[in-house]
Structure 1
Amino acid sequence: MGTPDELSEADFRSLHRHLSGRAPGGATRRGALDTITAEQVLAAVREVRSGRTVSLAAPVNTRPGPDDADPAEHRLIAPPDARPTAEGLEFARDRFAMNVHGDVDSHLDALCHVIYDGTLHGGVPAAGALSPDGASELSVELARDGIVGRGVLLDVPRLHGVPWLEPGTNVSGEDLAAAEARQGIRVGRGDILLVRVGHRRRREELGPWDVADARAGLHPTAMDFLAEREVAVLGGDGNNDTAPSAVEGVAFPVHVLAVHAMGLHLLDYLRFEDLAEICEREARWSFLCVIAPLRLPAATGSPVNPLAIL
């Protein structure tokens, strides 16, 4: 696999303008979600053959580690001291708290998540849209009815005959096109594109590491592939961005291009190992995909458990 060139900040801004001009979607504030029509949902339902469902989320992490200094918190709050009485009715109850945009747990990024040059997607001024109470525009509430469509998995490590891409590896648009050709599938308008780099498998087999310093992901220029195909959502088993960044002065260029320029909701830190095994065994890489974020009207994202239905 070749390593795409690094981009200067000027080159990145030029790419941002180019992709902003090609942003899919209609006249609403839903961004690229507008590329999923009712007809496409019905066509995606016809992808179901066996009725088998597969979770695309990782178990929520509650232990601190090199990639998660602020893990989710979960505790039983009733019965007191987890000691039920011997008689009568009681309810076991628990409390859960999460840093939604961490580097381990599966989550959805809303269109208000990325601020670039003081604006959100579509040029919405960030100062007017964000407050201590949350986001008044472009929040995860845009996806309140769920995201349902045809999911397509492109398995880049499989293309190169390796179990995972090593941290720091950039996936190019040419890699995506080659994976597509190898798998006999074509990504199209309104698809939920899932790109496997093997991040989750590497973490499970070798243990966690500091992903802020090194992780595999997409090269910024690969976003041209997504713009050409007019995809609706992008999901990865890492956080879609490579570290170190390929762009001078921009730490998360794929987030900026996807969310801010193109209006794509992002799915970060998913888990594709079970799905990839089934897809390879059955020689099919598309399926019905259902994503149901929590109804958090002013939130910048949501924990999520996407489902592939085959």
Structure 2
Amino acid sequence: MTAHGFRALYERLRSRAAAQPTMNGRCGALRHLTPERVAAAAAEVRLGHTVSLAAPIETEPGPDAPEPATHRMTGPGPRDLGSDGLHFATDRFAMNVHGDADSHLDALCHVVFDGELYGGVPASTVTAEGARSLSVDVLENGIVGRGVLLDIPRLRGVPWLEPGDHVTSGDLTGAEAAQGVHVGPGDLLFVRVGHRLRRTGLGRWNVATARAGLHPTALEFLAERKVAVLGGDGNNDTAPSAVEDIAFPVHVLAIQAMGIHLMDYLRFEELVAVCARTERWSFLSVIAPLRLPGATGSPVNPIAVL
């Protein structure tokens, strides 16, 4: 895709998002997730079965996590362990939120493009002390809605998509038809490319230079269906990029142009098994990022309730 073609797509999607009014203080594409749609999503629960869509946080370095999360115990001390009385086990945790291994959510302040954040907010609002606008704290009440999983490897008859492969709008509509499900306004869309299964089967690799993801033009599907949130088991963006001189076109289009919160590096294998067994690919989804005022994202553990 040429840079000129991307710019045309960007302006088209941005204009479309700007023309839609906000509701009840909701931010970005969450305007599509109305209280009525949240209430309707509760009807998706049939089994009372919950499934985590997050992967365990990585603490060992590897090609996709050269600086992994750190976890260390701060108590009790050796002397406390051998003594009577009350003692507490305590620990400390730190991570690079936007790495290439751990499940995380991107806030709308995460992407700066042409000097602006989503909605024309100046990039200068992101400071050394944190983002003064559009931070993850916008989601202080969480996100609850109807989740839909589209399994692209299942559609193509392969275990996973190879790095560099693109998910197209045709793939998304084809997966809908094959799975008997329809993505509608306010839905939380989860797109599986098989990244986690490939990682388990073949080992870790440098996903910064090679990964499967969505083609930028697939974002038109999200705009047409008024999707509220996008989550993938990879980065959502393909590498190498499909666009000249823009490394993360899907992030630019989804977050900065359309106001869609993204979730990267989720895990869908357990959910796929349940959905295939029950022949139902929609479910209640609950997402509760940490309340981190000023933060550009958060580790996240989305839960599917079937």
Q: Under a length normalisation based on structure 2, what TM-score does the superposition of the two structures give?
A: 0.97
Distance 1:142 1:82 in 2: 44
Distance apart, 1:81 and its partner CA: 4.8
The equivalences for 1:103-182 within 5 A come to 103-127=100-124, 129-182=125-178
Tell me by how many angstroms 1:42 deviates: 1.0
Q: Tell me by how many angstroms 1:82 deviates.
A: 8.8
8 Å contact kept, 1:103–1:269: yes
CA distance in 2, matches of 1:97, 1:214: 26
> In the aligned structure 1, how far is the partner of 2:21 from the partner of 2:10?
17
Corresponding position of 1:192? 188
Q: Which of 15, 23, 26 is equivalent to 1:21? A: 15
User: Does the CA contact (< 8 Å) of 2:163 and 2:211 recur in 1?
Assistant: yes
| Contact 1:25–1:32, Cα closer than 8 Å, also in 2 | no
Distance 1:238 1:117 in 2: 26
Q: Provide the C-alpha distance between the structure 2 equivalents of 1:295 and 1:273, rounded to a whole number of angstroms.
A: 28
Distance 1:287 1:135 in 2: 33
Which deviates further from its counterpart, 22-31 or 238-247? 22-31
- What's the CA shift string for 1:204-244, capped at 9, x where partnerless? 11110000111000000000000000000000000100000
Partner in structure 2 of residue 242 of structure 1: 238
Aligned residues: 303
Q: Helix, strand or coil for the counterpart of 1:152?
A: strand
Is 2:61 aligned against 1:64? Answer: yes
Name the structure 1 match of 2:6: 12
Change (3 A) 1:25 1:68: farther
Residue 97 of structure 1 aligns with which residue? Answer: 94
Aligned counterparts of 2:70 and 2:172: Cα–Cα separation in 1: 37
- In structure 1, what is the Cα distance between the partners aligned to 2:160 and 2:263? 19
Which of these residues, 44, 48, 52, is aligned with residue 51 of structure 1?
48
Amino acid at match of 1:213: T
Native 8 Å contact 2:80 2:87 kept in 1 = no
| Structure 1 position 84, deviation (Å) | 1.0
Distance change >3 Å, CA 82–CA 249, structure 1 → 2: farther
Asked if structure 2 preserves the Cα contact closer than 8 Å seen for 1:197 and 1:237, the reply is yes
Select the residue among 237, 249, 262 that pairs with 1:253: 249
Instruction: Tell me, yes or no, if the aligned pair for 1:25 and 1:33 is still in contact at 8 Å.
Output: no
Could you list the runs of 5+ residues in structure 2 that have no partner in the other structure? none
The 1:169–1:68 alpha-carbon spacing in structure 2 relative to 1, beyond 3 Å, is: same
Find the counterpart in structure 2 of residue 225 from structure 1. 221
Aligned AA (1:246): A
Deviations along 1:33-77, one digit per CA (max 9) or x if unpaired, are 111111111111010011110000000000000011110000111
Q: Distance in 1 between matches of 2:50 and 2:78?
A: 37
Q: Is this contact kept in 2: 1:170–1:217, CA < 8 A? A: yes
CA-CA distance at 1:80 after TM superposition: 2.0
Q: Secondary structure at the match of 1:58?
A: coil
| Further displaced range: 190-199 or 24-33 | 24-33
1:26: Cα distance to partner? 1.3
The letter of the residue matching 2:10 is: H
AA of the residue aligned to 1:49: R
Determine the C-alpha separation between the residues in 2 that align with 1:77 and 1:165: 42
Contact 1:239–1:268 (8 Å) recurs in 2: yes
Q: Select the residue among 79, 82, 88 that pairs with 2:85.
A: 88
Q: Which amino acid aligns with 1:105?
A: D
Poorly superposed stretches of 4+, deviation over 3 Å: none
Q: Give CA-to-partner distance per residue, 1:95-116, whole Å, 9 cap, x none.
A: 0000000000000000000000
Q: CA deviation at 1:79?
A: 1.1
Q: Deviations over 1:178-198 (max 9, x none)?
A: 001100111000000000000
In 1: Cα distance, 2:79 partner to 2:145 partner = 42
RMSD between aligned alpha carbons? 1.1
Unaligned runs of 5+ in 1: 1-6
Secondary structure, aligned partner of 2:276: helix
- In structure 1, C-alpha distance between the alignment counterparts of 2:212 and 2:78, rounded to whole Å: 43
Cα distance in 2 between the residues matched to 1:26 and 1:82: 58
